[in-house]
Amino acid sequence: MTMLSRFVVEEIEGLFKKHEALNKTKDAIAFLDAPLIYEYGFDKNLDEVFYINRNLKDRIAGATSRDESTPRDVKKRVNEQISLEGARKKGATIINNDGSVEELIDKVDNILSSILEKGETCTVKER
């Protein structure tokens, strides 16, 4: 585990603890945007996992325009993450990010609205 990964893991674990305390006092929903949810076992603490699927070419273009990543860096990170098929086998909800940002937001909004309409609860699971 790299130093950055260790920092991120510690931050996420701290957020789980804060959310757990908040859940004891009122209904709360928390979102975790992290690419290594399965790889670090965070899925065991989550009610739902959403896998945002995007083709490699667009992933590379997005990452290289967002930060100083090279295409090689992006490919390496992608290879460290669970595959689409792996996420599907683990029961993740797959969201295809094959359009505009607005289209992705609409897809996510529709899924979240559906969850909230069903009255499903979202709580942090005990480790």
Backbone angles phi, psi at 90, to 5 degrees: -85, 0
Residues 6+ apart with CB under 8 A from 111: 50, 93, 95
pLDDT the model gives residue 47: 82
49 vs 7, more confident: 49
The rounded distance, in Å, linking the Cα atoms of 69 and 82 is 20
The predicted-structure confidence for 30-78, as pLDDT tens digits, reads as follows 677 777 889 888 888 788 899 999 999 999 999 999 988 899 999 998 9
9 vs 38, more confident: 38
